Amino acid sequence: MKFSDVVDALERLERTTSRTQIVAILTNLFKKVIEENKDIIDKVVYFIQGKLWPDWYGYPEIGIGEKGIIKAISLAANVKEKEVEGLYKQLGDLGLVAERLMAKAPKGGLMMFVKKKEELTFEKVYETLKRIAFMQGEGSRDLKIKTLAGLLKEASPKEAKYIVRFVQGKLRLGVGDASIIEALAHVAGTTKDVVERAYNLRADLGAVAKIAVTEGPEALKRVRPKPGVPVRPMLAERLNDPKEILKKLGGKGLAEYKYDGERAQIHLLPDGKVVIFSRRLENITRSYPDVVQYAKSGLKAKEAIVEGEIIAVNPETGEPRPFQELMRRRRKHDVALAMSEIPVNVKLFDIIYVDGEDMTNKPLPLRRKRLEEVVEESEEFSLSTAKLVSTPEELEQFFHQSISEGHEGLVVKAVHDKSVYQAGARGWLWIKYKKDYKSEMVEPVDLVVVGAFYGRGRRGGTFGALLVAGYDEKRDAFATVCKVGSGFSDEELARLPELLKPYISETKPPRVISNVKPDVWVRPALVAEIIGAEITLSPIHTCAKDEVSAGSGLAIRFPRFIRWRPDKGPEDATTCGEIVEMYKSRLKKVEEPT
C-alpha cells in the first residue's frame, strides 16, 4: 500500500476535530487497506496510534532523540545540522523542518540517472522503522540515524514530515481508541460493541483489527482472553455509605479488603512462562521476579489469567507497608536488592481465564470458587480477605477491620447472577468504600510496651514487634494503639529479650486493655517514642474505644520506633485523650469521590 495513502488520511485527520469525520476518514483508510493488503491492518492501526506496536509487547523503542533526528534530516536534505537547528527554532516542529528542507533538497546525485524513484510503501516505512527500533548495541546510534536518513530521502516532503513526527512520538492526531473501534466496526460490518468486547478481552487493537478484517465479525464474537495478551481491567465505582452500597448491589455483596498496592494481572502461559501486567497494561514482569516465582508455584493450571494486588510487606512482621514503599522498589535498578529490602505479597481477587475457560462471563461467586481451586495459597500468594455481607453494620465492621490491619478500605462486589467480569468498564458491580478516617500524624507519641511478638526471618530468636499502649487516665489502665515492628536497629532488636525479660508475664497484666493477644505479655514499664503516618479508627485497638466512633478505638498506622524513653514511667506515656486530640486536629475531610 502506498505510504501516501496513509499520509493523506493523516493530513485529513489532523485538520478535523469532528468525531464523525474522524471515523469517516479512518473507515476510508481501512477500506483502502483491505483492498490493497489486509494483512497490514494491524500495523496501520498501530501507526495511527503513533506506535509500532502496543507498549506491553516490551519491544524496544525507535530510540532516536531530537539530536539524532536533526542529524538524519541534515543527511537526507544535504544541509548542515546548524541549518536544521536554526529552522527548528523558527518553526518549532521538526516535521515541518523536514518537509521544508526536503522540498528544497536537490533530487540529484546518481539517483537522477537511475530509474524513476519508486513510490514509498507503508510496508517499507513500517519495516524500516521496526528495523531501526531493533538496532541495538555498539554503533547502533549512527546506524539508526543513517537508516532514518535513507528513509527520509525516499520520502516526499510531506511524507518526511509525518515520518519525522512519528519518530519523535509527536504524531498527535487526536484519534482515540473509540474512533478506531467504530471505523473497524463499519468495515467489518458489525456493531462497535462487538469490536469493543473483543478489544476489552485482548488489549491489542491491531490484533483485534486483524481478526475483524481477515476473519470477520463471527470470529470477533468468539474472541476470548488469551494468556500473554492483557485484558482491560474491570474498575470500581465509589460510594461512601454502607447502606447505599448494599442497595446498589441488591442487598448483599462480597466485601474484600482493598489493598493499597499495585494491581497486577498475572498470566501463566502454556509454556510455563509468567507475565505480569500493570493496571495500565504495561509489562511489569521484570520488576517482580518474586511474584513470577509465586505464580509459578502457586497456580495449579496449565494456563491462567488471575488478578490481584501486589503489596509491600515488612519482612519481619509480615504487615503491609505503604504504597510509596512499593514505588520505591519499582524505582530501584537493582531488582535483587529491592526484592530483599522490600518483599511483596500478592492478594488475589479475580480469575479471568483458566485452561480454555473464559471466566469473564461467569458470576463472581463462581469465579471466586474457581480461584480458590486454582490457587495453592501460601503466605506470599493468597486470596484477598473477603466476607459476604448483607447489613450495613457488618459492612462497617469489616471496613474497620480492614483499616486496622493497615489496608485502604473495602471493595464490595456484586454476587448476583449478572455479576460478571466487566473487562474495560467502570461499573456498579464493584464499589469501593474508602471513606477516609485517616488523620495525618505529625508528632511522635510515647507509648508503653504491653506485649511482644516473636520475630521471623532475620529476627528469629528475638522479638519482631511490640504491642504498645497509651495511658487511659479515666480507667487508669493501658489501652493498645498499635503493633510496632519498624525502626529498630539490629542492636536494639538483639537487646529486646534481655530488656523485656524482667517484665514478661504469663497472663495479661491486670491494667492492660487489649483485644490483641501477643506471643508474650509484658507488664507496663517500658516507654518507647513512636511516630506513625496516620491515626485511624480501629475496631481492634482499645485506645479511646467508643469515644470517636461507637465500636472503634484509635490506632496508629505504619508506626516506627524512634527510641526508648527511660526517663518516663508508664503513667507518663501519651494519654488516650491526647491521641484523640491529635486525631481530631489533623482529621482529613472525607475524600471527594474520584
> Judged by CB under 6 A, which of 259, 399, 478, 488 binds ligand ATP?
259
- Residues whose CB falls within 8 Å of the CB of residue 38, separated by 6 or more in sequence, listed in order: 213, 214
Q: Which stretch binds ligand ATP (CB under 6 A): 30-38, 257-265, 322-330, 391-399?
A: 257-265
> Judged by CB under 6 A, which of 349, 353, 433, 471 binds ligand ATP?
349
Joined grid coordinates for residue 448 = 508503653
Q: Give yes or no for a contact between 362 and 423, defined as CB atoms under 8 angstroms apart.
A: no
User: Count of residues binding ligand ATP (CB under 6 A)?
Assistant: 13
Joined grid coordinates for residue 61 = 523503542
279 is in an annotated binding site: yes
Q: Which stretch binds ligand ATP (CB under 6 A): 255-263, 296-304, 388-396, 482-490?
A: 255-263
Q: How far is the CB of 359 from ligand ATP (least distance, A)?
A: 15
Q: Give yes or no for a contact between 122 and 1, defined as CB atoms under 8 angstroms apart.
A: yes
Q: Which residues are catalytic?
A: 258
Binding mask 86-105 for ligand ATP (x = CB under 6 A): --------------------
Q: Which of positions 226-245 make contact with ligand ATP (CB under 6 A)?
A: 235-236
Cα 1 to Cα 123: distance, rounded to the nearest angstrom: 7
> Judged by CB under 6 A, which of 256, 290, 472, 534 binds ligand ATP?
256
Asked if 514 interacts with ligand ATP (CB under 6 A), we say no
DSSP at 375: B
For 266, the 3-state DSSP assignment is: strand
Q: How far is the CB of 292 from ligand ATP (least distance, A)?
A: 19
> Judged by CB under 6 A, which of 384, 480, 536, 538 binds ligand ATP?
384
Q: How far is the CB of 145 from ligand ATP (least distance, A)?
A: 40
The b/e string for 22-58 (b: 16+ C-beta within 10 A; e otherwise) is bbbbbbbbbebbeeeebebbbbbbbbbbebbbbebee
309 is in an annotated binding site: yes
DSSP symbols for 500-512: HGGGEESS--TTE
Q: How far is the CB of 393 from ligand ATP (least distance, A)?
A: 21
Select 236 or 246, whichever has its Cβ closest to ligand ATP.
236
Binding mask 299-338 for ligand ATP (x = CB under 6 A): ----------x-----------------------------
Q: Give yes or no for a contact between 30 and 214, defined as CB atoms under 8 angstroms apart.
A: no
Q: Phi and psi of 169, rounded to 5°?
A: 70, 30
Asked if 258 interacts with ligand ATP (CB under 6 A), we say yes
Binding mask 39-78 for ligand ATP (x = CB under 6 A): ----------------------------------------
Q: How far is the CB of 410 from ligand ATP (least distance, A)?
A: 8
Burial (CB count <10 Å: 0-12, 13-18, 19+), residue 104: exposed
CA angle 199, 204, 207 (to 5 degrees): 95
Q: Give yes or no for a contact between 216 and 188, defined as CB atoms under 8 angstroms apart.
A: yes
Burial (CB count <10 Å: 0-12, 13-18, 19+), residue 63: middle
Cα 442 to Cα 532: distance, rounded to the nearest angstrom: 8
Asked if 263 interacts with ligand ATP (CB under 6 A), we say yes
> Judged by CB under 6 A, which of 97, 203, 313, 411 binds ligand ATP?
411
Q: Which stretch binds ligand ATP (CB under 6 A): 144-152, 240-248, 250-258, 267-275?
A: 250-258
Q: Which stretch binds ligand ATP (CB under 6 A): 39-47, 142-150, 253-261, 577-585?
A: 253-261
263 is in an annotated binding site: yes
Joined grid coordinates for residue 36 = 490493497
Cα 186 to Cα 195: distance, rounded to the nearest angstrom: 10
Q: Give residue for cell 486496622.
A: 404
Q: How far is the CB of 257 from ligand ATP (least distance, A)?
A: 6
- Residues whose CB falls within 8 Å of the CB of residue 305, separated by 6 or more in sequence, listed in order: 225, 227, 231, 265, 266, 267, 268, 351, 352, 353, 354
Asked if 162 interacts with ligand ATP (CB under 6 A), we say no
Asked if 421 interacts with ligand ATP (CB under 6 A), we say no
- Interface residues with ligand ATP (CB under 6 A)? 235-236, 256-259, 263, 279, 309, 349, 384, 411, 432
* Binding-site positions for ATP: 256, 263, 279, 309, 349, 426, 432
* Binding-site positions: 256, 263, 279, 309, 349, 426, 432
